[in-house]
Structure 1
Amino acid sequence: MDQTNTKPVSKTNAGNFFEDYRVGQVIRHAVPRTATEGDRALYTALYPSRFALHSSDEFAKASGLARGPLDDLIGFHIVFGKTVPDISLNAVANLGYAECRFLAPVHPGDTLTSVSEVIGLKENSNGASGVVWVRTTGHNQTGAPVLTYVRWVMVRKRDRAAPAPETVIPKLAPAVTAGDLVVPEGLDFSTYDFELAGAPHRWSDYAVGERIDHVDRVTIEEAEHMMATRLWQNTSKVHFDATLREDGKRLIYGGHVISLARALSFNGLANAQIIAAINAGAHANPCFAGTTVRAWSEVLDAAETANPSVGALRLRLVATTAETEPFVLRDDEKRYLKGVLLDLDYWALIPK
């Protein structure tokens, strides 16, 4: 058969661009991912994370759990990574998070999948990109949801001449209510070992308005952030391809900064063992290899839970460059300071 005039059909995928999305579109993301003990070990190697509940099966058993769950952010990163080829492969930047609830612990052996619904679209005034809002849910192998969140991302257009879609900006809750926080089944902090956990401070020791400088610092290395991003199977081009930016720099995955900041928060919040929700989050400025990151927290609220041994703290976690003074977020014009990398508002569960 003569195939000289047959036009080859591309089997590769350049990813979705802004004009490919429509409100109401549901995307079932490919490649299920089974979490393993290797994820725990690599997470500990990549970030200075020391929270006892995720580090020790024996500590977890003494706290009423069958075994130590994986760090909450491991589940977040895996579920997030599944969405990248469909949502943010052609992203300029991931902009923020809202309405994130951690619904069930993730354990080694759990297989996670992700599904997203497009809930908002807005083309930018430059006509070269637009913002896409999606609500993503991660499920385990039984079909049970393990977490759900909204994020919005700036995505390039394939064709600047493509017509702009109708603008739909979703109305999002400013915070997850304390009554909607999920306390893991069986969790019991009534005999909590504060000495083994690394600090004596319990729920009642924190006051609304209190600010904590976490003191320690970590310098981000190029190889480490690329290894972490690959670990979560995050394929966004801006994290790997140095030709995509005029300055020739690879953008650090925002989740890498979240995990670094959360790990640094151990010094001052060692007993804030479980992330129960993320109320809001902004990657205020880009981060690149060579940046030294520090972190501080502010207590925004405190709440009871249905579990008498478990309290909840609403915390603002801020990651900055080492040169940026703690406890300052914005300039006189209410803009984030250039040294502010992350502004994260979340609920954590802590022994009472």
Structure 2
Amino acid sequence: MKTNPGRFFEDYRLGEVIAHAVPRTVSGGERALYHALYPARGALYSSDEFARACGLHAAPIDDLAAFHLVFGKTVPDISLNAVANLGYAEGRWLAPVWPGETLRSKSEVIGLKQNSNGKSGVVWVRTTGWNEHDRKVLEYVRWVMVRKRNPGAGDAPDPVVPELARAVAAEDLVVPEGLHFEGYDYTLAGEPHRWGDYEIGEKIDHVDGVTIEEAEHMLATRLWQNTAKVHFDATNRPDGKRLIYGGHVISLARALSFNGLANAQMIVGLNGGAHANPCFAGDTVRAWSEVLDKAETGVPSVGAIRLRLVAVKHGAAPFALRGEDGKYAPEVLLDLDYWALMPR
């Protein structure tokens, strides 16, 4: 058989390393489309001149665009037959991605656990993105629920659940070479708030909302070459709906967070994340953030701020997260924990 039906849970082996097709040369077109699809306005990713004033030679590709590009490579091998993408951990942006670079991805299977219903199992992978110079640009762990080819048949593998760090240590964050925020122009950036203006425990309502359209979601998902069936083929879900790609929700929420966090310029660490509830076309996404921690970096003008970013459906209670039962409230779509770099 020449066609590829995608991997099922039975097809993964602990320790297996998978080199993913197809390499992707990045251009300014990815940036333009990213900014067309999301209300992204981060100055460092929008202006070559602003980036040069911050010590870089030009504006890199948006941090999450780089993430989506690396992630998209993995989908045909990891999550083509996914039920859901469940979470992330131990993510680090190791180098900026520049137009003209060619990205590729590899993943190592680090955990396997069949679900009790015998119909699916959870696969943990550690994915690394590389450029054409064999330099790592990004690494992260994710876990995904994958269907079994033959539900209920065969012996389940011995469960192996990897131990993952609760957060990336501040000293392990990578500040891009040359980056500084000396003489940072707060007027051009859009807000006056710097690292010292934020308090641990502070919550920020980002005010604005975006209603998700079917066409935008599918255009974005194809842009990242994400081929997961649940995002395109409505017959893959009993309710006949296309599931919105979780990365689409992440980028929407991150872009909305500009209002209140305009100076959180670069994401450099992904501590954890959960797609709490499914998102569908027609949902209006709003976002709020909580400051979880702050840390100094090796660059005096650059601080690190740890943020919880929560995306919710319109109508959610203010700062909604969990119900009295400890479970995510049904209106919560995303709970993301990340580190960003901010001027001090």
TM-score, length basis structure 1: 0.97
SS at match of 1:216: strand
Could you give the per-residue CA deviations for residues 243-264 of structure 1, whole angstroms, max 9, x where no partner exists? 0111100000000000000000
- Alignment of 1:129 with 2:129, yes or no, is no
- Alignment of 1:205 with 2:197, yes or no, is yes
**Superposition pairs of residues 256-275 of structure 1, within 5 angstroms:** 256-275=248-267
Q: Which amino acid aligns with 1:191?
A: G
Distance 2:258 2:244 in 1: 22
Structure 1 residue 133, shift from structure 2 partner: 0.2
Could you give the per-residue CA deviations for residues 170-195 of structure 1, whole angstroms, max 9, x where no partner exists? 00000000000000100110110000
Distance 2:39 2:324 in 1: 34
Identify which of 74, 82, 86 aligns with 2:73.
Answer: 82
**Superposition pairs of residues 302-341 of structure 1, within 5 angstroms:** 302-341=294-333
Match of 2:11 in 1: 20
Identify which of 90, 97, 109 aligns with 2:100.
Answer: 109
Structure 1 residue 159, shift from structure 2 partner: 0.8
Identify which of 328, 334, 337 aligns with 1:342.
Answer: 334
Aligned residues: 343
Distance 2:224 2:318 in 1: 30
- Alignment of 1:164 with 2:156, yes or no, is yes
Distance 1:89 1:95 in 2: 14
Match of 1:45 in 2: 36
Q: Which amino acid aligns with 1:86?
A: D
Q: Which amino acid aligns with 1:234?
A: N
Distance 2:255 2:98 in 1: 19
Bigger Cα Rg: 1
Could you give the per-residue CA deviations for residues 23-70 of structure 1, whole angstroms, max 9, x where no partner exists? 101000011011110000000000000000000000000111000011
Could you give the per-residue CA deviations for residues 114-152 of structure 1, whole angstroms, max 9, x where no partner exists? 000000000001100000000000000100000000000
SS at match of 2:237: coil
Could you give the per-residue CA deviations for residues 298-349 of structure 1, whole angstroms, max 9, x where no partner exists? 0000100000000010000000001102312101110000000000000000
- Alignment of 1:151 with 2:142, yes or no, is yes
Distance 2:77 2:164 in 1: 22
Match of 2:239 in 1: 247
Runs of 4+ residues over 6 Å off in structure 1: none
Match of 2:180 in 1: 188
SS at match of 1:217: strand
Q: Which amino acid aligns with 2:69?
A: I
Structure 1: which 5+ runs fail to align?
1-9
% of aligned pairs identical?
Answer: 73
SS at match of 1:135: strand
Structure 1 residue 162, shift from structure 2 partner: 2.5
Q: Which amino acid aligns with 2:184?
A: Y
- Alignment of 1:279 with 2:274, yes or no, is no
Distance 1:62 1:292 in 2: 36
- Alignment of 1:217 with 2:192, yes or no, is no
TM-score, length basis structure 2: 0.99
Q: Which amino acid aligns with 1:72?
A: D
Distance 2:76 2:171 in 1: 34
- Alignment of 1:237 with 2:229, yes or no, is yes
Match of 1:5 in 2: none
Distance 1:162 1:83 in 2: 26
Identify which of 259, 284, 296 aligns with 2:288.
Answer: 296
Distance 1:305 1:326 in 2: 33
Distance 1:49 1:76 in 2: 15
Q: Which amino acid aligns with 2:112?
A: L
Q: Which amino acid aligns with 2:315?
A: E
